[in-house]
């Protein structure tokens, strides 16, 4: 059984009720649920939440909420991997025959079903522990600048600051969207998402937007609108 697990807790400080706030007419949570269901490779979509309203909305859009997340796993300090491990353990206790599990974040309106399929296929055809979405930094991180205590400037990497961009190795960052692995891999604490045996699926910049602030939300809305216009 292939299962997508969407962590969606009720607390959100910078954007209140972010996971179910309306985004282009639908709750934000609806977008990853629909993308997973449309992928054709997922048997169940499960939402891990501590919030009754989020649970109800998740079910309205086709996800299942077979358990409620404990408060101890719904604070500001609990990492995503711990939440996914808990969800897998809960589902195994319910008798679900889990094989592959994906962690899909709730605030991913730019993600589509094709990307879910591509990462799943990449995982199956490789020996990777995890496959996750990533993006390339548009500017060389080796030429980053730091501000000193007296507001002066110092290079982050003095040896690279004068080098040409094309002479510096490209750098990438986690896109904060989707992570595929076997259920057994998620439960193995010796295997980490950002380890040597993981693989990136690099997305174009216009499909990547972290949503933590009001400005992030607005940019995501604009990107989504442009994507819809391209499809029309």
> Domains along the chain?
2-134+172-231 (3.90.550.10)
pLDDT in tens, 134-174: 999 999 999 999 999 999 999 999 999 999 999 999 999 99
Evaluate whether 171 touches 136 at the Cβ level (below 8 Å): yes
Q: Do the Cβ atoms of 65 and 59 come closer than 8 Å?
A: yes
Residue-wise pLDDT tens digits, 62-116? 999 999 999 999 988 899 999 999 999 999 999 999 999 999 999 999 999 999 9
Q: Is the dihedral of CA 165, 166, 167, 172 positive or negative?
A: positive
- Summarised one tens digit per residue, pLDDT across range 167-226 is 999 999 999 999 999 999 999 999 999 999 999 999 999 999 999 999 999 999 999 999
Per-residue pLDDT tens over the stretch 1-53: 999 999 999 988 889 999 999 999 999 999 999 999 999 999 999 999 999 99
* 201 contacts 134 by C-beta, under 8 angstroms: yes
| 77: its two tokens | 């300090």
Query: pLDDT tier at 232 (50, 70, 90 boundaries)?
Result: confident
Quickly count: other Cβ atoms within 10 Å of residue 109's Cβ: 23
**What's the token pair of residue 204?**
């174009």
CA 147 to each of CA 87, 137, 138, 144, 154: distance values in angstroms, whole numbers, following the listed order: 42, 20, 21, 10, 6
Q: Which two tokens stand for residue 177?
A: 């969207």
pTM for this entry: 0.95
Helix ranges, 162-203 (H): 183-186
């Amino acid at each position: 059984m292939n299962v997508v697990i969407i962590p969606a807790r009720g607390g959100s400080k910078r954007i209140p009720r972010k996971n179910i706030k309306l985004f282009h007419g639908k709750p934000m949570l609806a977008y990853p649920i629909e993308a997973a269901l449309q992928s054709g490779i997922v048997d169940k979509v499960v939402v891990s939440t501590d919030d009754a309203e989020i649970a109800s909305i998740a079910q309205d859009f086709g996800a299942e909420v077979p358990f409620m997340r404990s408060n101890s796993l719904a604070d500001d300090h609990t990492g995503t991997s711990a939440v996914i491990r808990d969800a897998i353990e809960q589902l195994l206790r319910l008798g679900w025959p889990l094989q592959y599990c994906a962690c899909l974040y709730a605030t991913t309106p730019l993600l589509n079903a094709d990307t879910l399929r591509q990462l799943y296929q990449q995982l199956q055809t490789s020996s990777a522990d995890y496959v996750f979405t990533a993006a390339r930094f548009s500017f060389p991180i080796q030429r980053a600048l730091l501000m000193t205590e007296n507001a002066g400037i110092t290079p982050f990497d003095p040896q690279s600051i004068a080098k040409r961009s094309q002479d510096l190795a490209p750098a990438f960052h986690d896109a904060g969207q989707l992570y595929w692995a076997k259920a057994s891999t998620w439960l193995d604490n010796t295997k980490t998402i950002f380890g040597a045996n993981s693989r990136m699926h690099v997305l174009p910049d216009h499909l990547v937007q972290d949503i933590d602030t009001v400005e992030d939300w607005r940019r995501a809305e604009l990107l989504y609108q442009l994507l819809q216009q391209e499809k029309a």
